[in-house]
């Protein structure tokens, strides 16, 4: 198994820079998820680690050995592609054993490795079939099998579940996680799906516009997003944002919103009087209440019942907010309500830099 170090890595196509000075240390056996919207550079970074894209500057090392100039075949890594990339003219068995055959492993060793992998992944009855005779889920398993059988230094996954339906995706998500626990192999997993990132990662690397925005455990990222981008990208339903100006009042600060409301802010060393602030509040930290001193008047726009929970869309002035509740509120669309918030759970960002203003919580 392996640790992977990425130091000051950049990637440009001509004059277009797509990755800017990426620094990342991946521990041996860690499951890292690169997450971000399309075009953020996460797949490019993965392909650079695989050797499918050149590193423009900086370095990538596996076990402290720089591999920038090694061809993919000499890096001892396995990759699962979004499209699965199974060889259509080969049977499942040939697909899985191809890498070992190329390395001229003894036949008995190949056979036992293929058997082992196919029983782990439940492919035993399918070994003779061609990929076209398999369902999407089965193809996905074959692609996994092809990666596992080699016992590589590291696994790379490029959005491997995005072609599956929701139920299968959920199932494969936990299977990949279990498999990782069993093999304990260093894994780098690329996805744009923040739920996959949250549920699978030991650490998440949130990326945007070719920069790493934040690296941390799923809960660190969820509870303390480093900037507005991470706050808005991680979490479903997404975080609500309210713009306003901080103004000192007594011991602390409150936010004078652009809509003319006042919201009491938690303590933060970064706050200054008359500072433009973006306030973030997760839907589960808002609630519908009776009118009170810290409540905001709102109009109910839409109610989305989801069985387990309900998502209430309200409008406070011009700001649209989402409220997540496990109750089934007895209100109709269009009614006037009051909304309150958990002060300690508010996130504050400097409106100019969009960076987090630390609070003691």
Q: Residues in the site for another protein, rule: CB under 8 A?
A: 50-52, 71-73, 75, 77-79, 81-89, 98-99, 102-103, 130-134, 136, 139, 146, 150, 163
Strand-pair partners of 311 = 304, 324
Q: What is the DSSP-derived secondary structure letter of residue 40?
A: S
- Least CB distance from residue 207 to another protein, whole Å? 21
**What distance in Å separates the CA atoms of residue 55 and residue 47, rounded to the nearest whole number?**
10
Identity of the residue, 9 or 77, whose beta carbon is nearer to another protein in the bound complex? 77
Give per-residue burial for 183-221: e unless 16+ CB within 10 Å, then b.
bebbbbbbbbbbebbbebbebbbbbbebebbbbbebeeb
Among residues 173, 86, 187, the alpha carbon closest in space to that of 136 is found at 86
Tokens of 74: 């000499």
Identity of the residue, 34 or 77, whose beta carbon is nearer to another protein in the bound complex? 77
Packing angle between helix 166-183 and helix 136-148, nearest 10 degrees? 10
Among residues 73, 154, 147, 150, the alpha carbon closest in space to that of 105 is found at 150
Identity of the residue, 23 or 128, whose beta carbon is nearer to another protein in the bound complex? 128
**Phi, psi dihedral angles at 234 (to 5 degrees):** -95, 130
How far does Cα 67 stand from its chain's mean position? 26
Identity of the residue, 84 or 222, whose beta carbon is nearer to another protein in the bound complex? 84
On whether the CB atoms of residues 319 and 311 are closer than 8 A, the answer is no
Identity of the residue, 155 or 233, whose beta carbon is nearer to another protein in the bound complex? 155
Identity of the residue, 165 or 291, whose beta carbon is nearer to another protein in the bound complex? 165
- Least CB distance from residue 127 to another protein, whole Å? 15
- Least CB distance from residue 228 to another protein, whole Å? 35
- Least CB distance from residue 163 to another protein, whole Å? 4
- Least CB distance from residue 72 to another protein, whole Å? 5
| Residue whose pair of structure tokens reads 């009042």 in the numeric block | 249
Identity of the residue, 65 or 132, whose beta carbon is nearer to another protein in the bound complex? 132
Identity of the residue, 41 or 235, whose beta carbon is nearer to another protein in the bound complex? 41
- Least CB distance from residue 134 to another protein, whole Å? 7
Residue ranges of alpha helices (H) inside the chain are 42-50, 92-102, 107-121, 136-148, 166-183, 194-200, 218-223, 228-233
Strand-pair partners of 277 = 244, 350
- Least CB distance from residue 200 to another protein, whole Å? 21
- Least CB distance from residue 213 to another protein, whole Å? 28
């Amino acid at each position: 198994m392996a640790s992977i170090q990425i130091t000051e890595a950049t990637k440009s196509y001509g004059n277009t820079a797509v990755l800017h000075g990426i620094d990342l240390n991946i521990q041996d056996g860690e499951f890292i998820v690169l997450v971000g919207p399309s075009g953020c550079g996460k797949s490019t970074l993965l392909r650079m680690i695989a050797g499918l894209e050149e590193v423009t500057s900086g370095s990538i090392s596996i076990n402290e050995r720089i591999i920038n100039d090694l061809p993919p075949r000499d890096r001892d890594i396995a990759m699962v592609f979004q499209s699965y990339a199974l060889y259509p003219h080969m049977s499942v068995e040939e697909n899985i054993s191809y890498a070992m055959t190329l390395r001229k492993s003894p036949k008995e060793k190949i056979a036992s490795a293929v058997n082992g992998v196919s029983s782990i992944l439940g492919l035993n009855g399918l070994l003779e079939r061609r990929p076209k005779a398999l369902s999407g889920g089965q193809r996905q398993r074959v692609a996994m099998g092809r990666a596992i059988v080699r016992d590589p230094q590291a696994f790379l996954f490029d959005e491997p579940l995005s072609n599956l339906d929701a139920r299968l995706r959920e199932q494969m998500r936990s299977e990949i996680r279990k498999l990782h626990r069993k093999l304990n192999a260093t894994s780098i997993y690329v996805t744009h799906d923040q739920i996959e990132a949250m549920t699978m990662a030991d650490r998440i690397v949130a990326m945007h516009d070719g920069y790493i925005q934040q690296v941390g455990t799923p809960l660190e990222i969820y509870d303390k997003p480093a900037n507005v981008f991470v706050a808005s990208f991680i979490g479903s339903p997404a975080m609500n944002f309210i713009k306003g100006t901080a103004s000192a009042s007594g011991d602390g600060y409150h936010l004078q919103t652009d809509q003319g409301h006042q919201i009491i802010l938690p303590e933060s060393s970064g706050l200054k009087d008359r500072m433009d602030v973006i306030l973030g509040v997760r839907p589960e930290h808002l609630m519908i209440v009776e009118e009170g001193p810290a409540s905001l008047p709102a109009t109910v726009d839409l109610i989305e019942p989801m069985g387990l929970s309900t998502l209430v869309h309200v409008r406070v002035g011009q700001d649209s907010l989402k409220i997540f509740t496990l109750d089934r509120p007895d209100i109709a669309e269009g009614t006037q309500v009051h909304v309150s918030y958990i002060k300690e759970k508010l996130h504050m960002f400097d409106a100019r830099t969009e960076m987090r203003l630390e609070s003691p919580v």
